[in-house]
Amino acid sequence: MKDLKLIKNDEYLNSIITESKLPDFFLEENYSSFIRVLNSRKLCEGCNGLDECRQASKGERLSLEYDGVLMQEIEYCDYALNKKSRENLLSKYVYCDIARNLVDLDLNNVRYTEDQKQLYLLMAALFHGKREKGIYISGDLGVGKTYLCTALANSLVKAGKKVAFVKVSNFFNEMRSAIGSNPELIDKNINKLKNAEYLFLDDIGAESVSEFVRDDILFRILDHRLENRFVTVFTSNLNKEDLLKHYQYDRKEKANLMNAKRLLERIDILTDDFVLTGSNLRRK
């Protein structure tokens, strides 16, 4: 005996039955299809994310379509759709090193404090093309420098801009490791950063300094960007004066003030300074 109440009492299936005015005899003839879809969708009940997914294929569940003929199809759940949306966004970056928990962030949904309001307005101006120079954002740990920059970067990518977002220490470590094993990668990534319409250099000054880092990579990138007036945004725990001291010495404590000055000159011309104040939001 086929229990039609079982499928009629399900909100999803009942919406299809009601909308398409499906008679009971049709439900009986296609009972197995309705039950398969019902069982598939019940596996999604109480799910809190793809890590908990009980489907045979993560994020996929059965659905029904009726257009004169009943068709059983596969659809993605909201968690899977969100994941695909995030992956699609990340794939559009020229170079991407943003935190995965900030992928959904943009200028429309970012929450900023009173301390961050002026910086948010500067970033909105950058997004809308109302300012040509980038920003050198300095400030203490955890005040929201990276958070706001990620919101701007994601918004620019969604608007179709060529954007590179770089965690400076990670990038230079990757480049150092490629010196002997993959030298082509070095030039490839340098070119990506040289020619991105918008480049975000996050946490500059936290990396170890060497002639390779300062002169062969960073100077080449910034010199090209200065010549082409591409927008560059920096975040740092150091002000520019301290950054100059940082780049004056390499890991062997060998001083080269002139090369450091040449580098800082380009940063200075590319950006306006902004000091972001406030408390450490990571501790709240």
Q: Looking at the structure, tell me whether residues 96 and 15 fall in a common domain.
A: no
**What CA–CA distances, in Å, run from 79 to 5, 82, 106?**
30, 5, 19
Q: What is the DSSP letter of 55?
A: S
Measured on CA atoms in the order 163, 167, 171, 174, is the torsion positive or negative? negative
Portion of the chain with pLDDT greater than 70, in percent: 98
Query: What is the tens place of the pLDDT at every residue in 128-161?
Result: 999 989 999 999 999 999 999 999 999 999 999 9
Q: Is residue 170 located within the same domain as residue 251?
A: yes
Distance between CA atoms of residues 124 and 110, nearest Å: 11
What share of the chain in percent tops pLDDT 90? Answer: 84
Whether residues 149 and 49 share a domain: the answer is no
* Alpha-carbon distances of 141 from 146, 204, 206, 235, rounded to whole Å: 10, 13, 12, 11
pLDDT band at 282 (very low <50, low <70, confident <90, very high): confident
Query: Per-residue pLDDT tens for 66-109?
Result: 999 999 999 999 989 888 888 899 999 999 999 988 999 999 99
Whether 181 and 201 map to the same domain: the answer is yes
| Residues 192 and 107 grouped into a single domain | yes
Of 56, 80, 104, at which residue does a domain stop? 80
Q: Phi first, then psi: what are they for 200, rounded to 5°?
A: -110, 120
Domain boundary among 80, 114, 134: 80
* Whether the predicted pLDDT of 251 surpasses 90: no
pTM over 0.75, yes/no: yes
No. of helices (H) and no. of strands (E), the chain = 13, 8
Task: Check whether 43 has a pLDDT greater than 90.
Answer: yes
Domain encompassing residue 229: 92-283
Q: At what angle do helices 240-248 and 257-270 cross, to 10 degrees?
A: 150
Res 37: pLDDT? 94
In a domain, 69, yes or no: yes
Residue 46 lies in a domain: yes
Gap between the Cα atoms of 214 and 218, Å rounded: 5
Where is the domain boundary, 80, 107, 136? 80
Residue 280's pLDDT is what? Answer: 84
Which has more pLDDT, 260 or 1?
260
User: What's the CATH code of the domain at 114?
Assistant: 3.40.50.300
Q: Are residues 47 and 175 in the same domain?
A: no
73 and 96 together in one domain: no
- What whole-number distance in Å separates Cα of residue 61 and Cα of residue 58? 8
Beta strands in 143-230 (DSSP E): 163-167, 198-202
Number of domains in the chain: 2
Is 86 inside a domain boundary? Answer: no
User: Is residue 195 a part of any domain in this protein?
Assistant: yes
DSSP annotation string for 86-145: HHHHHHTSSEE---GGGTT--TTT----TTTHHHHHHHHHHHTT---SEEEEEE-TTSSH
Q: Is residue 87 part of a domain?
A: no
Q: Please give the average per-residue pLDDT across 207-219, as a whole number.
A: 93
Residue 230 lies in a domain: yes
User: Do 100 and 59 belong together in one domain?
Assistant: no
pLDDT at residue 1, as a whole number: 63
Least confident of 135-144, 223-232, 246-255: 246-255
Q: Does a structural domain hold residue 59?
A: yes
Are 32 and 55 contacting, i.e. CB atoms less than 8 angstroms apart?
no
Q: Does 44 share its domain with 113?
A: no
Q: What is the mean pLDDT of the chain?
A: 93
Looking at the structure, do residues 143 and 15 belong to the same domain, yes or no?
A: no
DSSP 109: T
Domain match, 27 and 147 both: no
Provide the 3-class DSSP secondary structure of residue 141: coil
Whether 118 and 178 share a structural domain: yes
Average pLDDT over every residue of 41-52:
92
Confidence of residue 284 (pLDDT cuts 50, 70, 90): low
Is 225 domain-assigned?
yes
